[in-house]
Amino acid sequence: MNNLNNEKYVVSLYDYTGEALRPWAERGFQCLAFDIQHREDPTVESFESGGKIVYLNADLHTWSGFGRVEHLLNGLDIVFGMGFPVCTDLAVSGATHFKAKAKVDPAFQTRAVQHAKNAANFLDRLGCPWFIENPISVLATQWRKPDYRFDPFQYGGYIPADKGNHPTWPEYIAPFDAYPKRTCLWTGNGFVMPATKPVEVQKGYAKQHLKLGGKSAKTKNIRSATPRGFAIAICEANGGSM
């Protein structure tokens, strides 16, 4: 790729759903979502603003995968970056399985932590503000403590009043992201954490997560999708107005 039209780009790693990129694309930015689940041939989602989300295949667990991404980004004006490394071997919610996994592969967790570090280092080299997202996980002890923590309901007020229901998964995601899910961010290069606009949430665990158990790709992708309100807030706080 080359930036012949001086367009501004946003990059997202380990991103299948593109939810975190949507507010940027709606504001006219060109967005690139890299994930191993995407097809070999890129697919494009276009917006009335002129912005796009291009979904590109990349195995970010290999150096060659990162090399391919670096080649594609050469010459582009990257203004923001984000990464969502796979949390299966990191999240403390799965700690009961760590011992069994270690018996099969003693290095399983070291490798997962390194993937997160690699993503952070890659984004840092782009020279733009960035964040790495993960739930409460061993990254806090095996890498470094997170810079910020949040729950989705804290940013539900950013969702427009007439768009409370999730457009893709209304049966799984509470309206206005009104659910708790403690999430951590590791950040760099002048990243700005947005002010909160919380919405009311019922006490206890998020009800939709009772529907999102299991190991299917669908439920994993829904669980990992960036909350809409938070995505909007991040965009607005980090230069997302053109």
Mean pLDDT of the chain: 88
pLDDT per position as a tens digit, 20-55: 999 999 999 999 999 999 999 999 999 999 999 999
pLDDT at 103 (0 to 100): 84
Is the CATH number of domain 8-237 1.20.1070?
A: no
Residue 69: is its pLDDT beyond 70? yes
Which residues touch 13 (CB under 8 Å, ≥6 apart)?
34, 35, 58, 60, 69, 81, 82, 83, 84, 85, 119, 122, 123
Q: Cα-flanking dihedrals φ and ψ of residue 27, to 5°?
A: -100, 10
Comparing 72-76, 136-140, 168-172, 212-216, the range with the smallest average pLDDT is 212-216
Task: Tell me how far the alpha carbon of residue 226 is from its chain's centroid.
Answer: 6
3-state secondary structure of 30: strand
82-91, 168-177, 224-233: range with highest mean pLDDT: 224-233
Give the start-to-end residue ranges of the domains of the chain: 8-237
Quote the pTM value. 0.89
45 with 25: CB under 8 angstroms? yes
Report the length, in residues, of the chain: 242
pLDDT per position as a tens digit, 170-221: 888 889 999 998 999 999 999 999 999 999 987 655 565 555 555 555 655 5
